[in-house]
Chains A and B, each alone.
Chain A
């Protein structure tokens, strides 16, 4: 059998823009379905080395798939007080790069700006998302999403209560 044709940057952009669209519209259970069962989601603290491990360093967020699914469950409840009433969010992606690929996996990165507005206050999150993607006949899934903030901590944003 021939290997599947290589994906292009614009294939990756389509996938990432669709992911952003689900998040912008608070369609979190559908967003969660983009992840593999062994997926992880990381937001490291900003005073750490770029590829520091969450096993022995304090992050802001280090979710395995179970906790990511619990995060989604939590955010869909009225009792997730920090997101009640729900904030309005807008995610912009740029500088998308396809870093490597083989038949079953890809790595990619994208610069991001995420705006979160609640009670007439807008917080801005920015940095780079690093993706490890899995590819099979059904398409792409996210195996790892690592969101590296380019700010000094969360001094300006106060919290990270949404999926950036």
Chain B
């Protein structure tokens, strides 16, 4: 490890400064260590249960550098397997998603069930009689597969703590999303698949950074002001919170419309009646205080290392992985109540696209900011440190402080170098 070059994270409590070495964003040795010590041991988001609606549904997805086959078998159970034939290693499923009873490797014709068990072995007589039952003839399952309120995670470390323990204080915030609908939440059709020419950790930082809105998203804020009928009369204000295990959240009020459930004039009187009914249902199910929090607070949540759930003008689920130290791939999805009224769904997706995604009015400027940071790191020999000190030492950090970002980096540092947070 290149740790002997100097510290990766430098914390000076007395002077209330928190510094992160720019080397962490460019060094291939750091990226290798991240694979070994973070992606091979942390719980990683695989998908949402709603993406596999019935027996036989499957999808393939890259997670943590692996190609996974995610299935719901005939018993309705979820399976996550390495998408590689036990025979010679070819991908047994080359489709993105669909419904299938079996998966046949096209190379030599081995056939597997949705549970990964070998179902067909061409020319079986040439093998030992018990060969088809041996473990090495089956698809390999990921070592750990667990879910929490519909969010499904995998872990490549069989000895990892349980998902519930890993999520810890972040569970509260996943509950605040999962509880939005009695009918359950589901992923909407359509995936935003893009990339950013920057280190993956820059997107973790950016996703719950409340400080950059005023300048980086000036045009988005201009746009909001000119929308029909204006906004809710609410100023941006709130808190940031380190949740432990590297997770963090900012929770705040904002003037934009929330389909669940903060009305804006653009949605008209019919929209107002529906938003009020949704709110009333939340009160009945969760009581007035929790209903108010679900409906009127926004949350940008980062679950270490790379799951973002932003419950803002719409709900986005986002994951990202490094390809190289200077390039990441990003997947973004929209999450919504399964029983949402068609007009509310339309308003939600309209909201989503005005801010979020590589064609929105805000995300492209985030992408630009991250790429310009990455470009600036070429100066790191003479200008080696990033500053993450904002709000340090404050008793109650604000939504535009950096307490949650320090939480991310402390856990990153602990996992890479074994240093206490």
Contacts and interface: CB of A to CB of B under 8 A. Distances in A.
Contact of A55 (B97, B345, B369): B345
B362 to A, nearest CB: 10
Contact of A154 (B189, B194, B219): B194
A2 interface: no
B193 A154 contact: yes
Given A67-B354, A159-B358, A54 B368 contact: no
Contacts of B97: 47
Interface string B336-351: 0000001001100110
Interface in A22-50: 43-48
Interface residues of A, number: 39
A161 interface: yes
B192 A60 contact: yes
B154 to A, nearest CB: 21
Interface in B204-231: 216, 218-219, 222-223, 226-228
SS of A interface (majority):
loop
B358 A158 contact: yes
Given A47-B191, A74-B219, A81-B365, A54 B359 contact: no
B345 A56 contact: yes
Contact of B193 (A61, A70, A152): A152
Contacts of A70: 223, 226, 361
A57 B194 contact: no
A111 interface: no
B213 to A, nearest CB: 13
A58 B365 contact: no
Interface in B114-139: none
Contacts, number: 121
B254 to A, nearest CB: 19
Contacts of B188: 56-58
A154 B358 contact: yes
Contacts of B375: 119
A56 B195 contact: no
A160 B191 contact: no
A138 interface: no
B192 A58 contact: yes
Contacts of A44: 190
A56 B193 contact: no
Given A153-B194, A160-B358, A58 B333 contact: yes
A74 B359 CA distance: 13
A61 B359 contact: yes
B357 A60 contact: yes
A58 B334 contact: yes
A100 interface: no
A55 B346 contact: yes
B299 interface: no
A71 B367 CA distance: 17
A37 to B, nearest CB: 15
A4 B353 CA distance: 40
Interface string A147-161: 000001111111111
A62 B193 CA distance: 16
Contacts of B346: 55-56
Contact of B219 (A54, A80, A119): A80
B228 A82 contact: no
Contacts of A43: 359
A161 B368 CA distance: 10
A126 interface: no
A47 B190 contact: yes
Interface string B10-30: 000000000000000000000
Contacts of A73: 222-223
Given A59-B353, A160-B359, A80 B195 contact: no
A162 to B, nearest CB: 10
Interface in A1-37: none
By CB atoms of chain B within 10 A, which of A45, A58, A119, A155 has the most? Answer: A58
A45 B345 CA distance: 17
A52 interface: yes
A65 B329 CA distance: 31
Contacts of B192: 45, 58, 60, 153-154
Given A45-B190, A153-B192, A81 B368 contact: yes
A66 B333 CA distance: 25
B139 to A, nearest CB: 24
Contacts of A82: 364-365, 367-368
30 contacts: A45-B193, A47-B190, A47-B191, A52-B190, A55-B342, A55-B346, A56-B189, A58-B189, A58-B191, A58-B333, A59-B349, A59-B359, A60-B359, A61-B359, A66-B227, A70-B223, A74-B219, A74-B361, A80-B219, A80-B365, A81-B365, A81-B368, A121-B197, A153-B191, A154-B192, A155-B194, A156-B195, A157-B194, A160-B359, A161-B358
Given A79-B219, A158-B195, 18 more contacts: A47-B190, A52-B190, A58-B191, A60-B359, A62-B350, A71-B361, A74-B219, A74-B222, A77-B219, A81-B216, A81-B369, A119-B375, A153-B191, A154-B358, A157-B194, A158-B194, A159-B194, A159-B358
